[in-house]
Amino acid sequence: MSKPLTTTSEVMDALGGNRAVADLTHRTLAAVWNWRQFPTFPSNTYLIMTDALDRIGYTAPPSLWGMTGAESQSERAAS
């Protein structure tokens, strides 16, 4: 069973912090640092970040990447 994450900070912490996320997404450390302040990540980081989360036993809703209408099965069941 995967552990759900609900904020950008939780996702970044689970992935190893700012430096690890910058390396994973090929973004600057400054750009990644800003993501902690925002409610969503850039949408073009969705696949790489959710794949990395899956490999370590975590999930996060697509809405954290600004994906609308892309609810997971567990999100639909909870509504």
How does pLDDT run across 36-76, given as a tens digit for each residue?
Answer: 999 999 999 999 999 999 999 999 999 999 998 755 555 55
CA nearest to 63, candidates 42, 38, 40, 79: 40
In a domain, 54, yes or no: yes
Beta-carbon neighbour count of residue 3 at 10 Å?
Answer: 12
Is the pTM value of this prediction over 0.75? yes
Per-residue confidence (pLDDT) for residue 32, from 0 to 100 = 97
Per-residue confidence (pLDDT) for residue 66, from 0 to 100 = 95
Report d(CA 10, CA 7) in Å as an integer: 5
Here the CATH number for the domain that contains residue 20 is: 1.10.260
Domain extent at residue 21:
3-67
Report d(CA 49, CA 71) in Å as an integer: 16
How does pLDDT run across 4-35, given as a tens digit for each residue?
Answer: 999 999 999 999 999 999 999 999 999 999 99
In a domain, 40, yes or no: yes
In this structure, which amino acid lies at residue 8? Answer: T
- The residue with tokens 């567990």 is 74
State how many domains the chain has. Answer: 1
Q: Is 59 helix (H, G, I), strand (E, B) or coil?
A: strand
Confidence of residue 2 (pLDDT cuts 50, 70, 90): confident
